[in-house]
Amino acid sequence: MTELTTGQRVARARRRLGWDQVQLAAAVDRSVSWVSKIETGRLPLDRMSVLGQLAEVLGVEVIELTGQPYRHETAELDSGHSSIPGLRLALQQATMPGGAALISAANLPTLLDLTARVEAAEKLRQDAKFTALGNVLPQILRDLTVLCDAVEGDDVSRAEGLMLRASHMARVSSNLLGHHDLGWSAVQRELVAAERADSPVLRAAARWDLCGVWLHEGELGAARDMARKALDDLEPHMATADQAVRSLWGAMHLRAAVAWSRLWDRSEAESHLAEARQVAAGVAENGNVFQTQFNAVNTEIHSVEVSLELGHPRDVLSRAELVGIERIASGERQSHFWVCTAVGQMMNGKPALAADAILKADVIAPQHVRNRPIARNLVDDLRSSDRHAHSAEIRRLATSMKLG
């Protein structure tokens, strides 16, 4: 059975409400022709801001329109789906009162051992190797649950800091694969870790991740308000020279910029980008506090995404030209940049350059690309075009994505 397209899912959700295309067009302040083109696939859904608006007026979750979670033919391309049952159980044990007592542990895990394992897992997360990450993350979470229940004194903050970092990786994996309920469970454990450690830095890191969950779910107002609250709470700490605080401050501005861009408020989005640029100038080029990858290069990657969500394709390309993408040590971030660039090229009517960019993204981080709704919509659109030299490669990629 052929998988439904995003446009067909929009039409299905519209019909469920008993609406015709005229009513949907009025609800999103668009033309009937626009709705018709979206539903028939003649116009791609190339922005999360548009998907989020449609989901809101149709009364569905974004994942109902995107069709997540996606499944693939091989374990490698399936991007860690096989680990979801184990991850779900580990997060349940980590978040429930007394969960540590339900875990069998022959020996108490040590902080030293778990620090090394978390750092190794973070490398897999940045490289977007989600199958390999899924193989190790559930056990890391279980061991941290036991350790956090047993430690005392200064070790509490260290153990909870590791739990926050591991839970962040669970959040990223879950949201990428379309299991947003697990993403929420993971970020709940991060918030608990911050409170147990009584740390404003951990609290800011957890809130940064909470914004990420809400952006994935299309809850843009909630993401915007949390970013605003977190910035207010961080501001008194900015007088110090603490690089973690400054990095989280900048990273939160980037979250706010994305939220405002998806709400189509250019002034606010650009204001937050400007704040982030100012802070990024004073942090290390390879900065990656709490896996935020906050640094000057990632700030400019966000500027490309902001222009894309605002619907300014020329700005997407002019900003993309200024990004030194080879300078960021994250396959996930590099791939994200090339996906945004590809969509911008397609919006500018340049399918050959769009195909080149999306193929670059797939080489760098295939597990990231093949689970992203926007990337899948673009590949689906490109395979119907013969106006570029990459037609055969795009058709093979579409087949790998199970797009028909």
- The two three-digit tokens of residue 328, written as one number: 């960021």
Quick one: which of 47, 56, 37 has its CA closest to 310?
Answer: 47
CA–CA separation, 199 vs 133, rounded Å? 27
CA–CA separation, 119 vs 125, rounded Å? 10
Q: Phi and psi at residue 329, in whole multiples of 5°?
A: -90, 60
Neighbours of 145 (CB within 10 A): 27
3-class secondary structure per residue, the chain: CCCCCHHHHHHHHHHHCCCCHHHHHHHCCCCHHHHHHHHHCCCCCCCHHHHHHHHHHHCCCHHHHHCCCCCCCCCCCCCCHHHHHHHHHHHHHHHCCCHHHHCCCCCCCCHHHHHHHHHHHHHHHHCCCHHHHHHHHHHHHHHHHHHHHHCCCCHHHHHHHHHHHHHHHHHHHHHHHCCHHHHHHHHHHHHHHHHHHCCHHHHHHHHHHHHHHHHHHCCHHHHHHHHHHHHHHHHHHHHCCCHHHHHHHHHHHHHHHHHHHHCCCHHHHHHHHHHHHHHHCCCCCCCCHHHCCCCHHHHHHHHHHHHHHHCCHHHHHHHHCCCCHHHCCCHHHHHHHHHHHHHHHHHCCCHHHHHHHHHHHHHHCHHHHCCCHHHHHHHHHHCCCCCCCCHHHHHHHHHHCCCC
Burial (CB count within 10 angstroms: exposed 0-12, middle 13-18, buried 19+), residue 258: buried
CA–CA separation, 379 vs 376, rounded Å? 5
The per-residue pLDDT for 262 is: 95
pTM of the model: 0.90
Report, as ranges of residue numbers, the positions in the chain whose pLDDT lies below 70: 1-2, 77, 386-387, 404
Quick one: which of 169, 68, 16 has its CA closest to 371?
Answer: 68
Asked if the peptide bond before residue 69 counts as cis, ω within 30 degrees of 0, the response is yes
The per-residue pLDDT for 174 is: 93
Give the model confidence (pLDDT) of 248-290 as tens digits.
999 999 999 999 999 999 999 999 999 999 999 999 999 999 9
Neighbours of 108 (CB within 10 A): 11
CA quadruple 323, 277, 261, 129: dihedral, nearest 10: 50
- The two three-digit tokens of residue 220, written as one number: 């843009």
The per-residue pLDDT for 145 is: 96
Quick one: which of 285, 269, 280, 200 has its CA closest to 236?
Answer: 200
The per-residue pLDDT for 45 is: 83
CA quadruple 373, 376, 381, 383: dihedral, nearest 10: -170
CA quadruple 65, 43, 343, 347: dihedral, nearest 10: -150
The number of angstroms, rounded, from the C-alpha of 118 to the middle of its chain's C-alpha atoms is 20
The per-residue pLDDT for 1 is: 41
Give the model confidence (pLDDT) of 77-107 as tens digits.
677 788 899 999 999 999 998 989 888 877 8
Please say whether the beta carbons of 323 and 298 come within 8 A. Answer: no
The per-residue pLDDT for 106 is: 74
- The two three-digit tokens of residue 162, written as one number: 């590791």
**Burial letters 315-332, b for 16+ CB under 10 A, else e:** bbbebbeebebeebbbbb
The per-residue pLDDT for 47 is: 86
The per-residue pLDDT for 386 is: 67
